[in-house]
Amino acid sequence: MQGRFWGDRVEIKKIWDTRYVPFEKAEKLACEAGISIFLAKIFLSRRMDCAEKIDKFLNSTLEDLNDPFLLKDMDVAAERISKAVRKREKILIYGDYDVDGVTSTSILYKFLKSQNALVDYYIPNRFEEGYGFSQNSVEKVLDMGVDLVVTVDCGTTSIEETRELMEKGIDVIVTDHHECKEKLPQVKALVNPQRPDCLYPDKNLSGVGVAFKLVKALSLKMNVEIKQSEYLSLVALGTVADVMSLTGENRILVKYGIEEINNTSNLGLKSLKEEAGVSGKKITSTHIGYIIAPRLNAAGRIGDAAMVVKLLTTEEEGEAKEIALKLNELNKERQKIETEIFEEVINKIEAECDIKKSSIMVVPGRDWHQGVIGIVTSKVVEKYNKPCILITVSDGTGRGSGRSIEGINLFNALTFCQEVLEKYGGHEMAVGLTLKEEKIDDFRRLINEYANLFIDESKFTQKIKIDTSIEAQEITLENAHQLSLLEPFGVDNPEPVFKFENAKIAEINAVGSDNSHLKLKIENNGVRVNAIAFKMGHLAKVYKKSDVLDIVCTLDINSWNGVKSAQLKVIDIKPAFEIMLSNKFFFTLDRSLSFEEDALEENFENYINKIPLIKKEKDLKEYIYNYNLQKKRAVIILNSIDSVKEIIDFVKSCAFEFNFKYSMSFSEVKINDSTLHILVNPDPSRLDLSKFDKVIVHGQWFCEKYLIKVLNSIDLSKIYIYNKINFNFNKDSIVPNRQEMVFVYKHIKANYGNSFVIDNLFAFSDSVSKKYGINMNYFKAKKIIQIFSELSFLKSELYGKYGMTINMPDTHKQKRNIEDSFLYRSLNAL
């Protein structure tokens, strides 16, 4: 065996979700769209299959943005604000304390100040007032004596608070992007693309995106020209920081906004870039998300978020530098607090089984820093791949921050639990909440009731979405540069992820000051490629030179001493598919076969003749197409490696063409939602195919007796044969010859004592193969040892999942013929 699959040394934790893209379709699209085949493969994997869509994606401009007045109530909002500007009414911008909120506040404040409006802003204190409006906030606003309040990035769920302000004669305009409850606030205008009666074409705007739309609407209403570059950098910051979808309008806004960030004249942003060490570098969405945004967020988390608005709107260089320095210091403090809380949370989860086993983890703690628990929650979700809600408890009240995983709407989960909550808000992936301390246990019970009712367990399996395969000759600087055309990367437009197959290790080393990273040179088709795997240094002890791997990676550019080269940045590693297939095949063949001396119940030909035949590939394709349309499910059962390879190629093509999911398992079916399932080496004693509408049998089979046992466990009316069944099984792959048995015995005697454990028969068979130049595998190695045991050459017992314990006798007993072994005779007879 090459590689180290199937033993305890490599734990496969992730499922690779790979799209197969036919080369001829990529070639055709590339020609139609005027792009490279390399990019065409990526677009096809993302279901962008026409030249017009691709042109719009690559070449959209600010002119393609939607009319802001398509937003419900935008005309009312623009009219009321422009009236306030004309009449010199006192306007208050009420923002949120995160990056989306402070950038929203900043762009609206900058615009209104440019129009000589009587305007001020207010950012609530996270700790004293919490998200959105609170009673404290209402009282402060009333004391300010304002005429008009315009909220940005908040207000949709502040129904009572906004009602009170309106009743006191203060007009309220809410601009927001968060999900709505059933009841909407009764305000002068509610501008939110998420409101059910809003027909705006793009529902994914961030809070700052909505604020930018308001500025555009105001400029049109007031007949003034605006310089968009003054605002777009802030729109990009807020949109990326709020982890919004980078498709549609957001893609355009962030794309042009990042250009502005790279050439910014904003004094505050310029100073912050210098403090963060990214001045002079080409800023990307990654820099925003991981370097710039955390510094802006630090103020709202452990300080006063209003200082960020001051930073982003100041015209004084000294003030900008002073605030940027302060934000950098706050960020360091935030990181320290975050590390301490994270360690405490993990210890609590590991110690309390109820929390760890919950579908949605609810973890309370005493006096955790409220401003940091959101970041810690994200890290916990990343570690366990489950939604998590951290609740910091103080003075009998719990304030929580929740983060989710793809496919689980945490806002809906909170709505299910609203009877025990004081307050909640947010969206699918991130929420905030307040509740009484004594209600926390009830909340945990309720939210997991929701999970049990509405969440499929498969959602908790960590998946790596892979765009397409990458060939060795495609790993070039030119292609790495081409990927920049797809930027900015983020939600719904991630950096392309590739699968590089059959990569043979030429060099492998742990690198870094603590050997925590892995550096590889890999070969494929005569091409040598560099790869780096961060935080995977331990794998240098698992894999070795000449092992053949499949790698999930991104395509990156490495700069060293002024020389640039293409390299792969590794996300995950597995032994090559063919090695995994071989190992799984022989392991499950051993589990599924039995060697009882029983006769066939009937003539095989008579049995098979009762089953209808699907003769041609096009007929099978038509069956699959129709079953997919009818939402029915089919399973193809196989019993040879060659048949598996043949069917996988066929199914991949069908899955791409008809857009359905397929899956594969060994011995027995794992419950899943795929349309088509491939089952290899079915175990007759554990076979339940009742959930499938059609069972298709194909290819080479080990023997007639085994196949009839399998078919007897299935409803005969569901069974079809595709093409033909044959029994031309490669005998050498499963029946050991005398020479191989001698080599195994020699290897045991030369390398082990009288009593020992072989904990991994895969590694054992690999060693025997390499030492003696033979084709040994798990199945044969295990059968040889069992034959030796049967003949009393040694004593053996199963050990763990993949091993055996062996005891060698002190003296040899009389010679025995191999044919005396029932197991040996059975293998040959089959």
Q: What is the DSSP string of 264-327?
A: ---HHHHHHHHHHT-TTS---HHHIIIIIHHHHHHHHHHS-THHHHHHHH---HHHHHHHHHHH
Helix (H) or strand (E) holding 51: helix 51-59
Cα–chain-centroid distance for residue 529?
26
pLDDT band at 811 (very low <50, low <70, confident <90, very high): low
Please state the pTM of the whole predicted model.
0.84
Question: What SS3 state is found at 690?
Answer: coil
Compute the average pLDDT of residues 43-66. 95
Same domain, 299 and 434: no
pLDDT band at 786 (very low <50, low <70, confident <90, very high): very high
Which tens digits make up the pLDDT trace of 479-523? 999 999 999 999 999 999 999 999 999 999 999 989 999 999 999
d(Cα 151, Cα 91) in Å, to the nearest integer? 11
Same domain, 190 and 308: yes
The rounded mean pLDDT for the chain is 91
pLDDT of 334 strictly over 60: yes
Token pair of 798 as six digits: 């199963």
Compute the average pLDDT of residues 771-791. 93
Q: Identify whether the C-beta of residue 483 lies closer than 8 Å to the C-beta of residue 496.
A: yes
Q: Identify whether the C-beta of residue 805 lies closer than 8 Å to the C-beta of residue 796.
A: yes
Task: Find the range with the poorest average confidence among 10-19, 161-170, 529-538.
Answer: 10-19
pLDDT of 10 strictly over 60: no
d(Cα 398, Cα 394) in Å, to the nearest integer? 6
Q: Identify the pLDDT of residue 8.
A: 34
pLDDT band at 5 (very low <50, low <70, confident <90, very high): very low
Cα–chain-centroid distance for residue 326?
35
Same domain, 189 and 314: yes
In a domain, 14, yes or no: no
Residues 671, 677, 678, 679, CA torsion sign: positive
Q: What is the CATH number of the domain that holds 545?
A: 2.40.50.460
In DSSP notation, 723-751 reads EEEE----GGGTS--HHHHHHHHHHHHHH
Q: Identify the pLDDT of residue 813.
A: 58
Q: Identify the pLDDT of residue 39.
A: 98
In a domain, 504, yes or no: yes
d(Cα 63, Cα 149) in Å, to the nearest integer? 31
Of 729, 746, 767, the position where a domain reaches its end is: 729
Which tens digits make up the pLDDT trace of 288-323? 999 999 999 999 888 899 999 999 999 999 999 999
Q: Identify the pLDDT of residue 355.
A: 86
Total length of the chain: 830
Same domain, 603 and 524: no
Token pair of 216 as six digits: 């555009």
DSSP H helical ranges for 74-228? 74-86, 99-114, 135-144, 159-167, 207-221
Sequence letter at residue 738: R
Backbone angles phi, psi at 576, to 5 degrees: -55, 150
Same domain, 694 and 716: yes
Task: Find the range with the poorest average confidence among 26-30, 74-78, 657-661, 776-780.
Answer: 657-661
Which tens digits make up the pLDDT trace of 223-269? 999 988 889 999 999 999 998 999 999 999 999 999 999 999 999 99
Same domain, 160 and 277: yes
In a domain, 20, yes or no: no
Among candidates 657, 669, 674, which has minimal Cα distance to 622? Answer: 657
Q: Identify the pLDDT of residue 453.
A: 85
Sequence letter at residue 580: M
In a domain, 222, yes or no: yes
Same domain, 217 and 143: yes
Same domain, 556 and 604: no
Among candidates 233, 220, 246, which has minimal Cα distance to 272? Answer: 233
Q: What is the CATH number of the domain that holds 268?
A: 3.90.1640.30
DSSP state of 245: B
Of 572, 595, 619, the position where a domain reaches its end is: 572
Same domain, 321 and 224: yes
Compute the average pLDDT of residues 5-30. 73
Among candidates 542, 530, 470, 396, which has minimal Cα distance to 10? Answer: 542
Q: What is the CATH number of the domain that holds 670?
A: 3.40.50
In a domain, 12, yes or no: no
Question: What SS3 state is found at 615?
Answer: coil
| Residue burial 599-619, b: 16+ Cβ < 10 Å; e: rest | eeeeeeeebbeeeeebeeeee
| Residue burial 621-635, b: 16+ Cβ < 10 Å; e: rest | bebbeebbeeeebbb
Q: Identify whether the C-beta of residue 341 lies closer than 8 Å to the C-beta of residue 388.
A: no
pLDDT of 11 strictly over 50: no
pLDDT band at 458 (very low <50, low <70, confident <90, very high): low
In DSSP notation, 140-151 reads HHHHHT-SEEEE
Q: Identify the pLDDT of residue 9.
A: 35
Sequence letter at residue 635: V
pLDDT of 83 strictly over 80: yes
In a domain, 786, yes or no: yes
Backbone angles phi, psi at 618, to 5 degrees: -65, -30
pLDDT band at 593 (very low <50, low <70, confident <90, very high): confident
Sequence letter at residue 258: I
Q: What is the CATH number of the domain that holds 420?
A: 3.10.310.30
Among candidates 61, 32, 63, 64, which has minimal Cα distance to 49? Answer: 32
Looking at the chain, the whole-number percentage of residues with pLDDT higher than 90 is 72
Q: Identify the pLDDT of residue 602.
A: 61
580 φ/ψ sector (left φ>0, alpha ψ -120 to 50, else beta): alpha
Q: Domain residues for 806?
A: 732-829
How many structural domains is the chain composed of? 5
d(Cα 26, Cα 622) in Å, to the nearest integer? 23
CB atoms within 10 A of CB 30: 20
DSSP H helical ranges for 395-458? 410-416, 440-454
Question: What SS3 state is found at 434?
Answer: strand
Question: What SS3 state is found at 116?
Answer: coil
In a domain, 348, yes or no: no
Same domain, 371 and 515: no
CB atoms within 10 A of CB 676: 24
Residue given tokens 């959930």 in the structure block: 691
Quick one: three-class SS letters along 486-503? HCCCEECECCCCEEEEEE
Task: Find the range with the poorest average confidence among 13-17, 327-331, 756-760.
Answer: 13-17
Token pair of 60 as six digits: 């959209």
pLDDT band at 596 (very low <50, low <70, confident <90, very high): low
Q: Identify whether the C-beta of residue 786 lies closer than 8 Å to the C-beta of residue 820.
A: no
Question: What SS3 state is found at 400?
Answer: strand
Which tens digits make up the pLDDT trace of 107-144? 999 999 999 999 999 999 877 777 778 888 899 999 99
Same domain, 716 and 589: yes
In a domain, 154, yes or no: yes
Q: Identify the pLDDT of residue 12.
A: 41
Q: What is the CATH number of the domain that holds 754?
A: 1.10.10
Q: Identify whether the C-beta of residue 566 lies closer than 8 Å to the C-beta of residue 557.
A: yes
Q: Per DSSP, what are the bridge partners of residue 559?
A: 564
Compute the average pLDDT of residues 70-98. 97
598 versus 653: which is more confidently predicted?
Answer: 653
399 φ/ψ sector (left φ>0, alpha ψ -120 to 50, else beta): beta
Same domain, 424 and 394: yes
Backbone angles phi, psi at 90, to 5 degrees: -85, 115
Of 418, 438, 463, the position where a domain reaches its end is: 463
